[in-house]
Amino acid sequence: MGAGRFAPSPSGPLHLGNLRTAILAWLFARSTDRDFLLRIEDLDRVRSGAETTQINELASLGLDFDGEMLRQSDRLPVYLEAVERLKDRGLVYECFCSRKDIAEAGSAPHAAPGAYPGTCRELSPSEREAKAKNRPAALRLRSQVNEFSVHDELFGDYTGAVDDFVLIRNDGAPAYNLAVVVDDAFSGIDQVVRGDDLLSSAPRQAYLATLLDYEVPVYAHVPLALNSKGQRLAKRDGAVTLEEITEQGLLPANVVTILLESLGLPSTSLQAALQAFDPAALPREPWIVDPENIVQQLMPPASRNR
């Protein structure tokens, strides 16, 4: 039947938003009889010990995974091979632009705001040689479309911009949009559940999948957990990681209760939530997190307001 996945970056402990998305990915996979896989996306921002911490945190919530864990840093040759396949079809070119160059150049008239303007798309060999003396080249996809459409289980049909996005960064590291597409295909992942901040990436990734003759997965982009100002959760927001919450006397099971309640699901256990799970009934709005109220609400009465 295929597989779903959860793919954290080992940059630190998982916060409530990450854990909520992990539970949703597990529910989507298990409710459709898919395997559920874990992938560590460690091509960037790696903190020592974070991978082990995250794996232990997911286990403490009761989330189980199938198969072997995939680690992106072990797969660099695979990403380069995929780029070579695209090169053979003339779909890759060198780009010497910095972020500042791109911001100052603006977008091409037909492109969406923020899209790469194609500055290096048609450089001559001599121009490439001259630019290479000053800056290493990134590799970009020579896209043949300006937009691409995907279907999302929560958002419905979605059409987004596709520009000449980066495949290999100028430091030689595979870019996110390349790595996730190659990894999902390799692992047989045909269901991608992740935060809705990544919805705009789906058309690029789906288009790249078609170029590499991969199956385009089913997408479900789920609402994020935000702070009271409508921003993504961060350390400044108080006790928002599992580690911080359990340090205040709560158990991982209490955190599962919090997360399932935020989704309108039975909060007694993951299995009870799975039996009642219906994607159509999921909240469509962000979950606004107030860490103090959450902790106080689930504290044993004798421990409150000390």
Q: Is 155 annotated as a binding residue?
A: no
Is 176 part of any known ligand binding site? yes
Residue 235, annotated as binding a ligand: yes
Report the run of H or E that residue 126 belongs to, with start and end. Answer: helix 125-132
> Quick one: CA torsion of 88, 111, 173, 15, rounded to 10 degrees?
-140
247 has binding-site annotation: no
Using DSSP, state whether 216 is helix, strand or coil.
Answer: coil
Residues 6+ apart with CB under 8 A from 260: 23, 266, 267, 270, 273
Query: Are 9 and 18 a contacting pair, CB within 8 Å?
Result: no
User: 87: which residues sit within 8 A by CB, 6+ positions away?
Assistant: none
Please indicate if the annotation marks 41 as binding a ligand: yes
Handedness of CA 78, 169, 70, 161 (dihedral sign): negative
Distance, in Å, from the CA atom of 30 to the CA atom of 268, rounded to the nearest integer, reads 17
Tell me if 120 is assigned to a ligand binding site. yes
Task: Measure the CA–CA gap between 183 and 81, rounded to whole angstroms.
Answer: 13
Residue 95 marked in a binding site: yes
DSSP 73: G
CA distance 152 to 198: 12
Phi, psi dihedral angles at 123 (to 5 degrees): -65, 145
CA dist 230 and 128 (Å) reads 44
Helices (H) and strands (E) in the chain, counts: 11, 12
Q: Does 232 show up as a binding residue in the annotation?
A: no
Phi and psi dihedrals of 5, rounded to 5? Answer: -155, 160
User: Known binder of ligand: residue 8?
Assistant: yes
Q: Any idea what DSSP says for residue 117?
A: -
> Which secondary structure element, helix H or strand E, spans residue 221, and what is its range?
strand 218-222
Binding-site residue ranges for Zn(2+): 95, 97, 116, 120
Residues making up the binding site: 5-9, 41, 95, 97, 116, 120, 176, 194, 235
Q: Which residues are annotated as a binding site for ATP?
A: 235
